[in-house]
Amino acid sequence: QQQVKQSPQSLIVQKGGISIINCAYENTAFDYFPWYQQFPGKGPALLIAIRPDVSEKKEGRFTISFNKSAKQFSLHIMDSQPGDSATYFCAASMLKGGADGLTFGKGTHLIIQP
Protein backbone atom coordinates (compact mmCIF):
# COMPACT_ATOMS: atom_id res chain seq x y z
CA GLN A 1 0.00 0.00 0.00
CA GLN A 2 1.54 3.25 -1.14
CA GLN A 3 0.68 5.82 1.50
CA VAL A 4 2.23 8.82 -0.29
CA LYS A 5 1.65 9.20 -4.02
CA GLN A 6 3.87 11.59 -5.95
CA SER A 7 3.55 12.98 -9.47
CA PRO A 8 4.92 13.47 -12.02
CA GLN A 9 7.70 10.86 -12.21
CA SER A 10 9.78 13.20 -14.34
CA LEU A 11 9.57 16.86 -15.23
CA ILE A 12 11.40 19.12 -17.66
CA VAL A 13 11.20 22.88 -17.09
CA GLN A 14 12.88 25.76 -18.83
CA LYS A 15 15.27 27.94 -16.86
CA GLY A 16 13.32 30.67 -15.11
CA GLY A 17 10.08 28.69 -15.14
CA ILE A 18 8.03 27.28 -12.29
CA SER A 19 8.45 23.61 -11.33
CA ILE A 20 5.46 22.01 -9.63
CA ILE A 21 5.45 18.59 -7.96
CA ASN A 22 2.38 17.13 -6.31
CA CYS A 23 1.83 14.62 -3.54
CA ALA A 24 -1.21 13.01 -1.95
CA TYR A 25 -1.33 11.06 1.28
CA GLU A 26 -3.79 8.64 2.80
CA ASN A 27 -2.99 8.41 6.50
CA THR A 28 -4.67 11.30 8.36
CA ALA A 29 -2.35 10.68 11.32
CA PHE A 30 0.56 12.18 9.38
CA ASP A 31 1.46 15.56 10.86
CA TYR A 32 4.79 16.45 9.27
CA PHE A 33 5.37 16.85 5.54
CA PRO A 34 8.94 17.47 4.33
CA TRP A 35 10.41 17.66 0.87
CA TYR A 36 13.84 16.19 0.23
CA GLN A 37 16.25 16.90 -2.63
CA GLN A 38 18.70 14.25 -3.80
CA PHE A 39 21.62 14.65 -6.19
CA PRO A 40 23.24 11.61 -7.84
CA GLY A 41 25.58 9.80 -5.46
CA LYS A 42 24.35 11.74 -2.44
CA GLY A 43 21.89 11.16 0.35
CA PRO A 44 18.58 13.04 0.46
CA ALA A 45 18.76 16.52 2.02
CA LEU A 46 15.86 18.38 3.61
CA LEU A 47 14.63 21.24 1.44
CA ILE A 48 11.55 22.55 3.23
CA ALA A 49 8.86 21.13 5.52
CA ILE A 50 5.35 22.01 6.67
CA ARG A 51 2.98 21.09 9.50
CA PRO A 52 -0.77 20.68 8.78
CA ASP A 53 -1.74 23.75 10.79
CA VAL A 54 -0.60 26.08 7.98
CA SER A 55 -1.61 26.13 4.31
CA GLU A 56 1.58 27.52 2.83
CA LYS A 57 5.25 27.89 3.69
CA LYS A 58 7.82 29.76 1.65
CA GLU A 59 11.60 29.64 1.88
CA GLY A 60 13.37 31.57 -0.85
CA ARG A 61 12.34 30.17 -4.23
CA PHE A 62 10.71 27.09 -2.65
CA THR A 63 7.06 27.04 -1.51
CA ILE A 64 4.96 24.22 -0.05
CA SER A 65 1.20 24.46 -0.49
CA PHE A 66 -0.84 22.22 1.80
CA ASN A 67 -4.51 21.25 1.50
CA LYS A 68 -5.54 19.28 4.57
CA SER A 69 -9.11 18.52 3.44
CA ALA A 70 -7.89 17.11 0.12
CA LYS A 71 -4.90 15.39 1.77
CA GLN A 72 -2.59 16.91 -0.81
CA PHE A 73 0.54 19.01 -0.77
CA SER A 74 2.79 20.38 -3.45
CA LEU A 75 6.22 21.89 -4.00
CA HIS A 76 6.64 24.96 -6.18
CA ILE A 77 10.10 26.00 -7.32
CA MET A 78 10.03 29.55 -8.66
CA ASP A 79 12.61 30.86 -11.15
CA SER A 80 13.93 27.31 -11.64
CA GLN A 81 17.69 27.09 -12.23
CA PRO A 82 19.86 24.36 -13.80
CA GLY A 83 21.34 23.75 -10.34
CA ASP A 84 17.86 22.66 -9.19
CA SER A 85 18.10 19.60 -11.45
CA ALA A 86 17.80 16.70 -9.03
CA THR A 87 15.35 14.11 -7.73
CA TYR A 88 12.74 15.44 -5.33
CA PHE A 89 10.91 13.35 -2.77
CA CYS A 90 7.88 14.27 -0.75
CA ALA A 91 7.47 12.51 2.55
CA ALA A 92 5.23 12.28 5.57
CA SER A 93 5.59 11.17 9.15
CA MET A 94 3.91 11.22 12.54
CA LEU A 95 5.76 13.38 15.05
CA LYS A 96 3.51 12.39 17.93
CA GLY A 97 4.73 9.37 19.86
CA GLY A 98 8.29 9.65 18.67
CA ALA A 99 8.08 6.95 16.00
CA ASP A 100 8.72 9.34 13.15
CA GLY A 101 10.23 7.34 10.32
CA LEU A 102 9.50 8.98 6.97
CA THR A 103 7.14 7.53 4.37
CA PHE A 104 8.42 8.72 1.00
CA GLY A 105 6.80 9.25 -2.38
CA LYS A 106 8.42 7.56 -5.37
CA GLY A 107 10.30 10.70 -6.39
CA THR A 108 10.31 13.19 -9.27
CA HIS A 109 13.31 13.53 -11.56
CA LEU A 110 13.49 17.24 -12.36
CA ILE A 111 15.53 18.61 -15.25
CA ILE A 112 15.93 22.35 -15.72
CA GLN A 113 16.95 23.18 -19.28
CA PRO A 114 19.22 26.22 -19.70
Partner 1 sequence: DSGVTQTPKHLITATGQRVTLRCSPRSGDLSVYWYQQSLDQGLQFLIQYYNGEERAKGNILERFSAQQFPDLHSELNLSSLELGDSALYFCASSPRRGGATTEAFFGQGTRLTVV
Interface contacts to partner 1, rule CB under 8 A: 32, 34, 36, 41-46, 49, 89, 93, 95-107
Minimum Å gap between C-beta 34 and partner 1 is 8
Beta carbons of 73 and 33 less than 8 angstroms apart:
yes
User: What is the rounded CA–CA span in Å between residue 36 and residue 108?
Assistant: 11
Nearer to partner 1, 80 or 88 (CB): 88
Taking the complex as a whole, how short is the minimal distance between the CB of residue 14 and partner 1, in angstroms?
27
Closest CB to partner 1 among 107 and 112?
A: 107
Which residues is 72 bridged to in the sheet?
Answer: 24, 67
